[in-house]
Structure 1
Amino acid sequence: MHRVVAALMAVASCTSIAQAQTAAPPPSSSPPYTLERALVAAGASSPSLEVANAGVRAAGAARTVAGLRPNPQVQVQVENVGGSGAYRGTQSAESTAGLALPIELGGKRSARIAVADSRSVRARLEAAIALSDLRERVTQTYIAAASGERRVEIARQLAGFADAGFRAASTRVAAGAASPIEQQRADVQRVNANVALERATREAAVARENLVRLVGEPVAGPLDAGWFDRVGVYGPALPRSADGTLILAAAEADVATANAQVRLARAQRIPDVTLTAGARRLSATNDMAAIFGVSIPFPLFNNGRAAVSQAEAERQGVDARRRVTILDTEQAIASAQAELANAAAAARSAGGPALAAATEAARIARIGYAQGKFSQLDLLDAERTLADTKAAAVDALVAYHDAEARLARLTAPAPDLGGATP
């Protein structure tokens, strides 16, 4: 039986290539809903981008807060009141009104600004990461929906083939040219094909609903089958480093924030000075006198050394995570490149001459079975080969586009934030 199918495949491969070159997709009543349109729609309504943009605004406000100086204090003090004797009531009261102005020393303000600036850069990178993640998610959801539509088409074709096989078997049995078991076998094949069609239809509907939820608008018309069938040409994969990628930029921004935190911790070890100036009124003589003062904290218990040690340890950890990120990213890029090349080769093989030959072999087997030249087992084997080849072609296209989306996410370039920080 397998030799018969192999012979059919050999004969069909010659005629199927010519047919594949002249075949044209059926006309569509409405333009396809493209991936680019889905990306634009998702970017306009995605809550994840709103979260990232809110983080950018919050970081900008935090930078403004970091640049503010300490507020002065208004001080009012009344002495020598509510006592006894000469100090009964307010006749001997001494009133003092003054202004206290904290003076930051050690570069605390500039250190705070540096921390806020690095966090602002990190927030902007988070917004770019959110956009890149959204593009990957939309692409993968679009792939699932497009492959679902393709699987429905394949299942519908196979169900039609099964119906035709059942009719051919019924005709042969009625003519006494075949055993009734062939009709029963064809009926089982038809039932299974219809069940597979229903399952593929439900899965495709769910995939399309997921795409609708993600893009935030109705998805009308078919998806872009041309994009789904398109496979790029890839040669040997060149080694790619993580330099310039969005992932590495985020890790380096974390290191910059940690360095700024160390600088701030060191600046906070230097005590601030509070200057006081005011006027005192002496009730006994109704005279006025100026007062001046200065206060300096005495770092007896907390001199800030532990905070500096903590910040330095955290910086070492962040820098180590940056090196781990480089290794993981470069490894993931290499794996994605290999998967992309393998999937492209598999898609070109399964969706090219192999699929055309399997289609032609199944067609010849159906004609031969109806004319009594091939057995039913030969027909079933040819149709099973066709179904497996079609499924492999769809799986290869899904793997190709998924690897392409993951590689695009891994190698997404970092945005230019040269003028982003105030």
Structure 2
Amino acid sequence: MASSSPAPWGAVCLLCALSLGMLFSSTLHASTQPDTSAPWREPIRALWTINPDVQVARADLDAAYARARAADQPLYNPALALEAENADVDRRTAQLSLTLDVSGKRRARATQGQAELRVAQAAYDLQRQLTAQQWLKVWSTLSLATRQRELGQQRLALMQRFDDLAAQRLKVGDISSPERDLAGLALGEAQMQQATLVGNEAAVRAALLALADDTHTIAPPPWPHSFPPSTASMAPRAVADLPQVVLAQAREASADAAIRVAQRNRLPDPTVSLTGGRVRAGPVTDRVIGVSVSVPLPVLNSGRADVDAARADADAAIAKLQGERLRARAALQEAQARYEALRTAAASFQNSRAAAFQERTALQEKLWRAGELGTSDYLVQLKQSLDTALSGLELENQAWQAWFDYLTAAGRLNDWIDGRMQEAAP
């Protein structure tokens, strides 16, 4: 008699349930990863299409494509010469000549053209990254100036209300005349500070318009409510893959190709000519066919100086590449350390009592109205609260700007803009 054995089936069901649960959990975790770059994605892509610096780099890239195609074309075109002579001897001849590229000049120039194309491509990629970084930092500065101006407006409203209340309390004798004057002075100072904040916002907005004057296409997004992620979410690329290093490597390869071009230019190429025609002398007419070969002699200019100059340029390109690698490593270490420090400080500030500006100012005004806080003490504490709130905004802005600097130094700014967050470094 066969007996059922539910234990293995139960284990299988349990295993399936656990697997589905883990899959659902991992999918939910992946889907809840914040995409901090989403608000900037479309504005930056639009920026790349209208920014003058990017347009210049794009035009240089198109020119490099054309020059690469031109460098791969044959160096010499055939030449046709027609000759006619009426004298004692009538001559009618045609000559077809062609210089032969036996030294490999075309191949060397094609190699240099491809190297120059890689230089232009690397310069275009780097310019797009630098333009995006510049726009993001100016935008964050504008967001800071706007929020500071809004906070200053709250300060101005508080001081205006404080001045009105002081005037009322002076009438009933709750405060003295010097305390009333102190409220008026505080209001005047707040008005002057607000004018400064408005001017700062206008200056930063002008800097943003200098990058792209099409304000309808490039609409800056609102300030994000979350902090940028940790640097672990965007591991830096290898030094050799950083845009500025790639550009230096491309220039070094182009300089090497220029040496080979200069060396090939020193070698003369022969010109082969084929002549055919008719020669008539009196009643006698003869057909003539001739072949000639001419080779230029590099006597007056051997081209050695051009080779020496190309080698010196290559040495300079190698040195620049080494320097770029050193600067890239140093910039990455500095940007990473600065960002982590600012991010930690900004998060600590936001989670502390120092960030509770609205609650604190309301409590201070309540205590002053109740007579439990003197006028001078109220002004000192209110000023401290406002200064702390402004410093908190500045700290948060510095954390975001440090994040943009880190992404640039790590060569991951474009990846972040495209939403490729948890991507491992190449």
The TM-score bracket by the shorter chain reads 0.7 to 0.9
**TM superposition shift of 1:223:** 4.2
- Aligned residue runs from structure 1 range 212-227, under 5 A: 212=209, 214-215=211-212, 216-218=214-216, 223-227=221-225
Point out which structure has higher relative CO (alpha carbons under 8 A, 6+ apart). Answer: 1
Q: Is the 8 A contact 1:273 1:294 kept in 2?
A: yes
Aligned partner of 2:178 among 174, 181, 190: 181
Residue of structure 2 in register with 1:115 after alignment: 112
Following TM superposition, by how much is the alpha carbon of 1:370 offset from its aligned partner in structure 2, in angstroms? 1.4
Q: What's the CA shift for 1:388?
A: 1.4
1:279 equivalent to 2:276? Answer yes
Give the drift of 1:328. Answer: 1.1
For 1:357 and 1:346, the matched residues in 2 are separated by 16
The question of 1:66 aligning with 2:71 is answered yes
Gap runs ≥5 in structure 1: 1-32, 82-89, 416-422
Q: Is the 8 A contact 1:350 1:389 kept in 2?
A: no
Deviation for aligned residue 1:272:
0.3
> Match for residue 211 of structure 1?
208
Question: Are residues 357 and 145 of structure 1, via their aligned partners in 2, closer, same or farther at CA, if it must alter by over 3 Å?
Answer: closer
Deviations 1:122-144 (CA, angstroms, capped at 9, x unpaired): 11112211211221122112112
Q: 1:308 to 1:233 in 2, by over 3 A?
A: closer
TM-score, normalised by the number of residues in structure 1: 0.81
CA 1:402–1:318 in structure 2 vs 1: closer, same or farther (change >3 Å)?
A: same
The answer to whether residue 151 in structure 2 is matched with residue 128 in structure 1 is no
What's 1:18 paired with?
none
What is the rounded CA distance, in whole Å, between the counterparts of 1:38 and 1:221 in structure 2?
Answer: 6
The match for 2:400 is: 401
SS state at 1:278 partner: strand
State the TM-score, normalizing by the size of structure 2.
Answer: 0.80
1:316 paired with 2:306, answer no
Q: Secondary structure at the match of 1:243?
A: helix
Paired residue total: 373
After superposition, the C-alpha distances for 1:248-276 in whole angstroms (9 at most, x for unaligned) are 11000001101101111111121101001
Q: CA deviation at 1:349?
A: 3.2
Tell me the CA shift for residue 210 of structure 1: 4.2
Shift of residue 338 of structure 1? 2.0
Change (3 A) 1:410 1:183: same
Change (3 A) 1:330 1:106: same
Distance 1:292 1:65, change over 3 A: same
What is the alpha-carbon distance in structure 2 between the residues aligned to residue 334 and residue 354 of structure 1?
32
Aligned position for 1:253: 250
> SS state of the match for residue 42, structure 1?
helix
Q: CA contact under 8 A between 2:228 and 2:403: conserved in structure 1?
A: no
In 1, Cα distance between equivalents of 2:321 and 2:210: 35
Q: Distance in 1 between matches of 2:316 and 2:371?
A: 76
Within the alignment, does 1:164 sit opposite 2:194 as a pair? no
Quick one: which amino acid aligns to residue 97 of structure 1? A
Name the Cα RMSD after superposition: 2.7
TM-aligned CA distance change 1:39 to 1:238, over 3 Å:
closer
Report the CA distance shift for 1:53/1:239 in structure 2 as closer, same or farther (over 3 A).
Answer: closer
Q: Which runs of 5+ in 2 are unaligned?
A: 1-37, 415-426
